[in-house]
A and B are shown apart, each in its own frame.
Chain A
Amino acid sequence: MGKTTNLFLCGVGGQGILLASEVISSACMKAGFDIKQSEVHGMAQRGGSVVAHLRYGEKVFSPLIEPGDADIVVSFELLEALRYLPYMNRKTRVIVNTQKILPSPVATGVDTYPADVLDQLTQRGITVFPIDAFEIAKSAGETRAVNMVLVGALSALLPLDEKIFLEVISERIPEKIRKKNSEAFLKGKEAIANLKR
């Protein structure tokens, strides 16, 4: 049986992680894979740290990624990448949105935001792809499309056709903002392609 691929998404409640993971899962399903996507609703969403586990392959059993077993991590916020370090291993590739959203202990001056998040990851031998998804979304004309920028970025590391993603986006996103979201997706993909060069 083919290996199951583990995609781990993390960020802050309100960043559109749930929609992003739905787009990715739908694309995997369209490509003919079995898929399990796990997330938590409710209290965690009130500005707290949010994660989604996505696993795809020929046949997927467990809905949860084991610690140390993520193939790709997409962190929607800088600090969150470090929080989920135990899910990574030395071969994990990590896409990090360098945007900072201050957690309440930092915002109230009780704690400080670490200055060396990316270094802490690379020091451990992890491959990091840092992108400023907020700026990219802005350049696509829709600051709320940060999530689609990151879906695009992830798609650059997946063996899935770009068309499938664009098809899913056109199905899932309301017409009014569809074009800008597709553009955000493509710009995100390009950003990773540039980093890989």
Chain B
Amino acid sequence: MKNKHNIGDKVLFSGNEAIALGAFEAGVKVASAYPGTPSTEILENLCTYEGVYAEWAPNEKVALEVALGASFAGARALATMKHVGLNVAADPLFTAAYTGVKGGLVVVTADDPEMHSSQNEQDNRNYAYAAKVPMLEPSDASEAKEFLKTAYRISEEFDTPVLLRTTTRVAHVKGVVTIGAAESSSAMLGIEKMPEKFVMLPGHARKRRVELEKRLARLREFAETFPENRIEWGDRQKGFITSGVSYLYVKEAVPGASVLKLGMAYPFPDRMIREFASKVQELFIVEELDPFIETHVRALGIMCKGKELVPAMGELNSQIVRNAITAAAATDLFTPVAIPMRPPNLCAGCPHRGIFHAISKLKVFVAGDIGCYTLAALKPLSSMDSCVCMGASIGTAFGMEKALGNDALGKIVAVIGDSTFMHSGITGLIDVVYNRGFSTVIILDNRTTGMTGHQPNPSTGMTLSGETSTAIDIEALCRAIGVKHVVSLDPHQHENAVNVLRQEIERPEPSVIITKAPCALLPEIKKKKDKKLYTVRAKNCTGCRSCLKIGCPAIEWVPLTPEEAKQLGYKETQKGHSYINPVMCIGCGQCAPLCKFKAIAVVGEDNG
């Protein structure tokens, strides 16, 4: 579909779309990933190109292993993930640095400074240093495409995996990208046995360890003449060393300054850095998050200014850079006015709302996980008590249980989404069964990966490219692991959900509750024809606000003055009434049983 463009055409692409195009132009044959903001769109786009196999793996570790295998077979291969995904994939990465590659291998890590959609703000440039692999860092979409192609050449020339790091403001920024020519790898496809290279027994690994150091030395030399490490001479009063999107902020904030732009974030071109530093009066390092460049520059014995001026937390922008570097007078800005917050919320009709409302009745500790449902931690549901990383719900619940012993029975539940369970929840559940726990695990099966924009996963029976596949049966899987009590229920049925929960949390054995209802944003729900929408029978509403406790965006509170209340036939003391917005209601019915006064009814049946 994307192949419709001709060489030389200019297109408006995000960094992620550009990386997909770059992968196609680089002749990538195999690409594997787990969705994660801000990296998801790379594979969603790449799967539309002809001749590329692209898949969603259950997690990032598997994704990188699949890409590494493809490389062993001589194909150019790609693994993409968000920053925290590389923690999961770090195990294969560190040893892939030893084996090296056959076909070019690139790992894209998409970092999220400011944590727009993440649980932490780690700076993955540190992985390049720790794993001893080169890292390229583009500043915009156009560079992202070109750098990815360059990364494959480096990978094959130096026999190493290459990291390509983006950040949210590269991955999700659209810019002008030019369609280029396709190239191909010089590696040959086929099976080749090279145990000393591919089998990392200690004896082999020790030899590869030496090779790794030699390779790094060659890469350091390469960095000195690599055209994407470049000096832009300007005013020599102030000189800036920078990389990635920070380069753009420097260019915007201090036009005409001298800049050393590092297209390769690791290893560093030491001679180039020394030369640049020696020719500017004052040296500044501008980088988002950690003092990665700064620490190296200081280790070279070069005086510079960095994190004492530029924040080490959050995103930068040109104003932050300008204010940090220059003594610019503060501009006369409007101050913010106090207005109601608009926090993200579970959608109208979201099945997660039903189960979290039921859980909130139990007064238990809810060990949560990563997904849309993490929003249940916010008011008014306020029913999640911990959230750490993908799959952590089960392990943390079990750990609490082991610490508290029998006192924990009936007091803790783990809650995890279907895709997250496939990612890394299964092993946690195995621990519970194996080590004689009694944890209650609630798996929220909404038949998709919701938060990242509805990707299929191993339990949905659909692949990235839309082919039907075997749907992993979560219920059967849990039983096969050894969980004897596995119950499925409809989370929209409040009473039943509460009863089942009460019964299962008291069980002194492991149990799994699977809530089955599709995400309200899936086409099968959105396009459903005979939806029974709900409405508020105005005369029955007493203004008790019970229905507002589930925080459904379709239910609104209409405040009334005493006169208005009187006019509408209410008691003068009634402060308002509820209203269901017919445009937003999707007819899930969760709200109806909450009303003791039978004021919530199906539209058309509201005259009784």
On whether the beta carbons of A62 and B340 are closer than 8 Å, the reply is no
Q: B175: which A residues are within 8 A, CB to CB?
A: 34-37, 60, 63
How many residues of chain B get a CB closer than 8 Å to chain A's CBs? 58
On whether the beta carbons of A63 and B117 are closer than 8 Å, the reply is no
Closest residue of A by beta carbon distance from B549? A108
On whether the beta carbons of A47 and B334 are closer than 8 Å, the reply is no
Closest residue of A by beta carbon distance from B453? A41
Q: A66: which B residues are within 8 A, CB to CB?
A: 317-319
- The 0/1 profile, CB within 8 Å of B marked 1, for residues 3-33 of chain A is 0000000001100000000100110010000
Which of B98-106, B208-216, B550-558 forms part of the interface with chain A? B550-558
Within 8 A of B (CB), among A39-95: 39-49, 60-64, 66-69, 79-80, 82-83, 85-86, 88-89
Q: B453: which A residues are within 8 A, CB to CB?
A: 41
The residue that B176 contacts in the complex, of A35, A42, A69, A104, with Cβ under 8 A, is: A35
Q: A41: which B residues are within 8 A, CB to CB?
A: 37-38, 40-41, 117, 172, 453
Given A35-B176, A106-B340, A43 contacting B345 (CB threshold 8 A)? no
Which of A111-119, A156-164, A176-184 forms part of the interface with chain B? A111-119
Closest residue of A by beta carbon distance from B575? A109
Distance between Cα atoms of A25 and B11 in the complex (Å): 11
The residue that B169 contacts in the complex, of A45, A64, A79, with Cβ under 8 A, is: A64
Nearest CB of A to B241, in Å = 17
Closest residue of B by beta carbon distance from A62? B252
Distance between Cα atoms of A103 and B379 in the complex (Å): 13
How many residues of chain A get a CB closer than 8 Å to chain B's CBs? 53
Within 8 A of A (CB), among B341-369: 341-347
On whether the beta carbons of A42 and B342 are closer than 8 Å, the reply is no
On whether the beta carbons of A82 and B339 are closer than 8 Å, the reply is yes
On whether the beta carbons of B176 and A29 are closer than 8 Å, the reply is yes
On whether the beta carbons of A38 and B345 are closer than 8 Å, the reply is no
On whether the beta carbons of A42 and B117 are closer than 8 Å, the reply is yes
Q: B452: which A residues are within 8 A, CB to CB?
A: 42
Distance between Cα atoms of A190 and B4 in the complex (Å): 35
A105 within 8 A of B: yes
Q: B40: which A residues are within 8 A, CB to CB?
A: 41
Q: A89: which B residues are within 8 A, CB to CB?
A: 333-334
B534 within 8 A of A: no
On whether the beta carbons of B12 and A35 are closer than 8 Å, the reply is yes
Nearest CB of A to B16, in Å = 10
A196 within 8 A of B: no
Within 8 A of B (CB), among A101-143: 102-109, 111-114, 120, 124
How many pairs of residues, A versus B, come closer than 8 Å at their CB atoms? 166
B271 within 8 A of A: no
Distance between Cα atoms of A124 and B337 in the complex (Å): 12
On whether the beta carbons of A67 and B345 are closer than 8 Å, the reply is no
Q: B252: which A residues are within 8 A, CB to CB?
A: 61-62
- The 0/1 profile, CB within 8 Å of A marked 1, for residues 19-40 of chain B is 0000000000000000001101
Closest residue of B by beta carbon distance from A81? B339
B594 within 8 A of A: no
Nearest CB of A to B299, in Å = 30
Distance between Cα atoms of A46 and B335 in the complex (Å): 27
On whether the beta carbons of B38 and A42 are closer than 8 Å, the reply is yes
- The 0/1 profile, CB within 8 Å of A marked 1, for residues 436-474 of chain B is 000000000000000111000000000000000000000
Distance between Cα atoms of A153 and B456 in the complex (Å): 38
B140 within 8 A of A: yes
The 5 closest A-B pairs by CB, nearest first: A42-B117, A109-B557, A42-B37, A48-B344, A103-B342
A-B contact pairs, 19 of them (CB 8 A): A35-B176, A38-B173, A40-B117, A42-B116, A43-B37, A44-B344, A47-B553, A48-B345, A79-B340, A85-B335, A88-B334, A103-B342, A104-B342, A105-B341, A108-B380, A108-B548, A108-B551, A109-B575, A124-B334
Chain B residues within 8 Å of A, Cβ to Cβ: 10, 12, 37-38, 40-41, 116-117, 140, 168-169, 172-176, 245, 248-249, 251-253, 315, 317-319, 331-337, 339-347, 372, 375, 380, 451-453, 545, 548, 551, 553, 555-557, 559, 575-576
